[in-house]
Structure 1
Amino acid sequence: MRKRTEQEWIRLLKESKELDPDPEYVRKTREKILSEARKSPSSIRKRSWKTIWPTIMAVCLAAVLAITVLNYQVPISQPSSPTSSHPEPVSKPIQVNKDTEVFIYNTHSWESFETKKINGYNRKKNVQTVAKSLGHYLTQESVPTTIDDTNYTKLLMEKDIDFQDSYELSRKSVQKAVQAYPKVQLVLDIHRDDTIGKKEKTTIKIDGKNAAKIQFFVSNTHPSYEENLKVAEQLDRILNKMYPGISRGILKEDERPYHDPVSYNQDLHPGALLINIGGVENTLKEEERTTKILATAIKHALNEQ
């Protein structure tokens, strides 16, 4: 049998009469369509849930991220005040105690140890480490202590300030401390001797082990310096009674007019002293041994008052 061409099929369709479907066929077809229509909502819901589930998860994740971001506060830097020629110290005391009786700081914060250089500076082996050690042992002696950990040497370098102005920076911290701690009895600026080649001058044997010697410095450039001198003499006496020779005594500045501004902050409080603990060639272990002894001596001195 020959197959009809496309043109022939088109012609036949045009010439054919309109179809008249069987009524029974129409009825059954209608019922089938209605039946399928009743089933369709369930299937649509299933397909819809599968479709929107990933979207719901994405929205939830976005909400969590948004809450996290909103709760995070970005720190805003505060501009420095342009009214002062020297910036305020930027660090806060590492310990704060309103009952403070001893306040410790380091004007020359990078004065270092275990070196042969007079002006040797070390960011780790320095007088700030010694100050913290002294604070630790004072706390063990139940002496309320605050340590100012401001790095004045670093601040000088960052702000390009002359080294001779170090005391102008530390002075501001001492002024605040005297006001903040009404019970303070001692304000100690911890340094070390810069003597080179004579470690025996800054070292003593105690119980078979080396320890650093102590030296007090009192400035007489202010009218009430004798009050500071009395405190230094008291500590010198107690130390040498405990371990004869551990204190090298008191170094007094040569007489100068009282209007000289360099008082090493000792005019701010009668218990303000500059203390050299050891020298550049002493080790931190030797320094630590001495801070423990000094803490005990300070405890005795406070009990005498």
Structure 2
Amino acid sequence: MAKRGWTPVVIWFRTTTKNRYWARRRKPAGRAPRLQWPKSLAVWYGLSLLGAVGVLWRFPPAPTVRPVTASLYPVRPSWLDRTFTGLKAPVNAAEDWLNRGIPLIGLVLSPHQFALHLGALVSTGLTEVSGVRLSSLPALLQVAIPVLKAVPPPTESKTPIAPPPAIPGANERDASLPGDQGRVWAVLGQTPVVGIYQTHSHESFWPYLPSGTNPAYSTYWPRTIVQVGWWLAEALHRQGLSVVQSRVDNMAEGVLASYSQAYFTAKQLIRGYPTVKLLIDLHRASTAVAPAEIRGQAVSRILIVVGTNKLLPNEYWHQNLTAAIKLAKALNRIAPGILQGNGIDMVPYRYNQELMPGDLMIEVGGPNSTLGEEKRAVEELALAIHAVLSSRQPGS
């Protein structure tokens, strides 16, 4: 009787279990099949590639060769630029109006972008008005404590100065280099006070290159910026200044490695010739620049580039700016109209200008310039450099 009592329970349990099993196996009516995600590594890799293509399509890669004064990111026009554009006022007339109304503003307006550098304007204005360089602690202390002006400067050490270290390759020669019997390190005079080198040593000029050559590069030195540097060295020497020009090929490993190579070239120049007071990295602009007319002749325009400390430390940038302002004023006085834009372009990058005070990058002309225009420009530049060095050392 006991077994017969459990029989209905067992039959019910087995029937219920069987029905539940088949209910799970049966597809529910009216419901879409569940989406099965791909589990293959190849499928996931393909999806990743599609995502990468989408990103690259939205953000195209930057060009490998970037102009010296170009910005890494697109710069939105300033409110001043938008205002004058809305008023349809000529930019040149607006700059002239601002220069007359606000002294020194022309020196801190970017020639490529009508944007106002307020920090540089305040710093430069206070320095010009007070005559005290704000980055010089002794000068500030003398203003606060006038009695310090009577304290004599420390006497110079009588210890004999050791001769400068030998520059590697100082006696190397290249027959195609202009002047000084083709020496890679050309020296005019006894104790050089001006040093010249060329980071982009292959920079050349379209009138002397095959049609369609772009960028305008060449390794035939008489038609490159190296030749222009030699003309500048000769013009400075005629003014009575001793000069050293490094003709090291800083672009031997390409344009991307040129600034790294030029850093060591400039360091060697400074160590080998410690009397140098003004160091010039000579360039030509990356885009075409219309020449100026000076005394009835076409002359390449000149732009002085000053690297700041916006991205990397540069303790000398204020002194470099001071030297650039003096040089721009001298150029404007000697050859009015020779400056490109306002003559000074302040950029956030250092461009190896952190090596010493009086370390400047100077652009002369562009790829469309002729060698005659370049030579006449550096002759005017030599007159301005001589005037600046004769009055006071750059950066002082």
Alignment of 1:151-166 (within 5 A): 151-153=249-251, 155-156=252-253, 163-166=255-258
**Which whole-Å CA distance do the structure 1 matches of 2:384 and 2:306 have between them?**
18
Q: Which one scores higher on RCO, CA 8 angstroms, separation ≥ 6?
A: 1
Q: Does 1:132 align with 2:230?
A: yes
State whether structure 2 residue 379 is matched by structure 1 residue 292. yes
1:276 to 363, 385, 390: 363
Q: Does residue 206 in structure 1 map to residue 278 in structure 2? A: no
Unaligned 5+ runs, structure 2: 1-167, 173-183
Counterpart in 1 of 2:108? Answer: none
Task: Report the number of matched residues.
Answer: 201
Shift of residue 281, structure 1, vs aligned partner: 0.4
Contact 1:193/1:277 (8 A) holds in 2:
yes
Query: What is the alpha-carbon distance in structure 2 between the residues aligned to residue 168 and residue 89 of structure 1?
Result: 18
Higher helix share: 1
CA contact (8 A) 1:98 1:181 kept: no
Paired residue type of 2:362: I
Query: Normalising by the residue count of structure 1, what TM-score does the alignment of the two structures yield?
Result: 0.62
Which of the pair has more CA radius of gyration? 1
1:223-262 per-residue CA deviation (whole Å, 9 max, x = no partner) reads: 32111111111100000011112112111114xxxxxxx6
Q: Residue 60 of structure 1 aligns with which residue?
A: none
Structure 1 counterpart of 2:218, from 98, 101, 122: 122
Matched residues in 1 for 2:246 and 2:301: separation?
23
Q: Counterpart of 1:178?
A: 270
Give the superposed CA RMSD. Answer: 1.9
Counterpart check, 1:252 vs 2:346: yes
2:250 and 2:390 map into 1 onto residues whose CA distance is 32
Cα displacement (A) at 1:267:
0.5
- Please, what TM-score do these two structures have when normalized by structure 2? 0.48
Distance 1:105 1:167 in 2: 12
| CA shift in 2, pair 1:226/1:283, >3 Å | same
| Shift of residue 170, structure 1, vs aligned partner | 1.3
- Counterpart CA distance in 1 for 2:371 and 2:362 is 16
Q: Which residue of 2 is the match for residue 141 of structure 1?
A: 239
- Alpha-carbon displacement from aligned partner over 1:164-214 (angstroms, at most 9, x marks no partner): 221111111211222222221111011001223xx42xx101121100010
Letter in 2 for 1:301: V
Runs of 4+ in 1 over 4 A off after TM superposition: 88-91, 115-118
Q: 2:286 is matched with which residue: 194, 197, 200?
A: 194
For 1:54-84, what per-residue CA distance to the aligned partner results, in whole angstroms no more than 9, with x for missing partners?
Answer: xxxxxxxxxxxxxxxxxxxxxxxxxxxxxxx
* Alignment gaps of 5+ in structure 1: 1-87, 157-161, 255-261
Q: Distance in 2 between matches of 1:223 and 1:137?
A: 31
Please tell me whether the aligned partners of residues 220 and 253 of structure 1 are also in contact (alpha carbons under 8 angstroms).
Answer: yes
Paired residue type of 2:247: D
Change beyond 3 A, Cα 1:181–1:106: same
- 1:122 is aligned with what amino acid? S
